Amino acid sequence: MTLVKATIGDLLTAIENGLLDRPVLDKTGLQGVYDIRAAPDPQDISIFTAVETQLGLKLVPQKAMVDVLVVDHVEKPSEN
């Protein structure tokens, strides 16, 4: 994973959308932009391990409240 001039939010979005099947919340408090380069070790491809050893951040599984958008009905718009 390589991100250039990325915020921690960009990193979390990349992890959430590409590597995990759940939301990732930012509790770091880090500000600014970073050049982020991380690659899982071929012997241990866990994203949890890669993020901790290569970036110094820790992904901690826990339950939290998150916003969810639910669409329960969709119709094509009528022609005017």
User: b/e per residue, 19-55, with b = 16+ CB within 10 A?
Assistant: beeeebeeeeeeeeeeebebebeeeeeeebebbeeee
Q: Compute the residue count for the chain.
A: 80
Q: How far, in Å, CA of 53 to CA of 41, rounded?
A: 10
Q: Report residue 4's pLDDT band, with 50, 70 and 90 as the boundaries.
A: very high
Q: How far, in Å, CA of 69 to CA of 62, rounded?
A: 21
Q: Which domain holds residue 65?
A: 1-80
Q: How many domains does the chain have?
A: 1
Tens of pLDDT, residues 64-78 = 887 889 999 999 998
Q: Report residue 7's pLDDT band, with 50, 70 and 90 as the boundaries.
A: very high
